[in-house]
């Protein structure tokens, strides 16, 4: 029995900030949510349900177990007119064409057009109590994806579409996670129903609600799935030069089309805990690019690597 792919669609309930890079005082946001963000949100949700007063090591242990049982795909923006059926949902999937990134459903739209539709920002600072003015060097601006947008003059609701591969060792009706000598069966994946992802969660950002729509908007359900490779999960595209909807590790000498992006993340530090270790940067082909490969290995954080 192979890994099973389950499409997921989330309704965006509050602004979302997915950390990207800083330009001056502006903290930019991505226009999609990497798999790592969903793994982290799931780990946090599950750990707090299993432990009344979770410690740093509890988060680490549950996170490792979640990687073995679940492999998330990337999640991309979609929108539909308010109170209209899910059949009216329009996807905004990136695809690299003729030297630029465009978006499916609206192939003429580029990143600047996406910003005009989905992105807004707010400014914040700390006050200097001595002069009752903004403290020096603490003024910053945060970009975020809006939960409601205006398209064609109407109000549309923002969604994120993606999916998750479920381990072949899991029960078909849920996910089995071994915990302290026992097996925890999470039926119907309730840990995925309500998640908080991204930054600024302390200000109410990042709230998502799972919908009942399990349409495969990314088309990954048509990719063949096998066990194997360095991470235990291989996915085979329907064609060797297919569009990749994730970060794919760049390998010099291999044919690709797309945007190269160095990615540096914050990882687990044995002494200081989560997010305190600055990981070594890796160069990837950004989502929407094409890579000549017959199969991809999907690691526990959702990054893809082309297999020979």
**pLDDT tens for each residue of 250-307:** 988 888 899 999 988 777 666 766 666 777 788 999 999 988 888 999 999 999 999 8
Residue 191 carries which DSSP code? Answer: G
- The domain limits of the chain are 4-221
With a CB cutoff of 8 Å and minimum separation 6, the contacts of 14 are 147, 204, 205, 206, 207
**Residues 198/16, Cβ–Cβ less than 8 Å:** yes
Helix (H) / strand (E) containing 291: strand 290-291
How far apart, in whole angstroms, are the C-alpha atoms of residue 294 and residue 226?
A: 12
The pLDDT tens digits for 56-102 are 788 888 888 888 888 999 999 999 998 888 888 999 999 998 888 88
pTM (predicted TM-score): 0.89
Counting residues of the chain whose pLDDT is more than 70, the rounded percentage is 88
Asked if residue 1 has pLDDT above 70, the reply is no
**Of 58, 40, 57, 37, whose CA–CA distance to 48 is shortest?**
58
Report the distance separating Cα 110 and Cα 13, nearest Å: 25
Q: How confident is the model at residue 169 (pLDDT cuts 50, 70, 90)?
A: low
SS3 221: helix
Q: What pLDDT is attached to residue 5? A: 92
């Amino acid at each position: 029995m192979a890994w099973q792919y389950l499409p997921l669609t989330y309704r965006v309930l509050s602004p979302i900030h997915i950390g990207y890079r800083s330009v001056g005082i502006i903290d930019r946001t991505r226009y999609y949510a990497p798999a790592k963000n969903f793994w982290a949100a799931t780990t946090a949700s599950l750990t707090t349900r299993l432990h009344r007063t979770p410690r740093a090591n509890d988060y680490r242990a549950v996170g490792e177990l979640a990687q073995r049982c679940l492999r998330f795909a990337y999640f991309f923006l979609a929108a539909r007119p308010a109170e209209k059926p899910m059949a009216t949902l329009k996807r905004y999937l990136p695809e690299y064409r003729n030297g630029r990134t465009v978006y499916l459903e609206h192939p003429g739209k580029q990143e600047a057009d996406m910003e005009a539709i989905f992105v807004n920002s707010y400014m914040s600072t700390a006050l200097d109590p001595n002069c009752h003015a903004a403290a020096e060097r603490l003024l910053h601006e945060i970009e975020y994806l809006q939960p409601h947008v205006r398209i064609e003059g109407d109000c549309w609701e923002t969604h994120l579409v993606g999916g998750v591969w479920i381990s072949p060792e899991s029960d078909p009706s849920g996910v089995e996670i071994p915990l302290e000598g026992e097996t925890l069966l999470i039926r119907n994946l309730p840990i995925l129903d309500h998640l908080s992802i991204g930054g600024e969660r302390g200000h109410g950002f990042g709230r998502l609600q799972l919908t009942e729509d399990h349409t495969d908007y990314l088309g990954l359900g048509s990719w063949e799935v096998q066990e194997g490779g360095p991470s235990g999960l291989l996915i085979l595209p329907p064609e060797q030069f297919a569009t990749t909807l994730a970060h794919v590790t760049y390998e010099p000498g291999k044919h690709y089309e797309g945007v190269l992006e160095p990615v540096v993340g914050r990882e687990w530090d044995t002494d200081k805990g989560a997010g305190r270790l600055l990981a070594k940067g890796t160069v990837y082909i950004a989502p929407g690019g094409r890579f000549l490969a017959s199969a991809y290995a999907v690691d526990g954080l959702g990054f893809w690597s082309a297999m020979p």
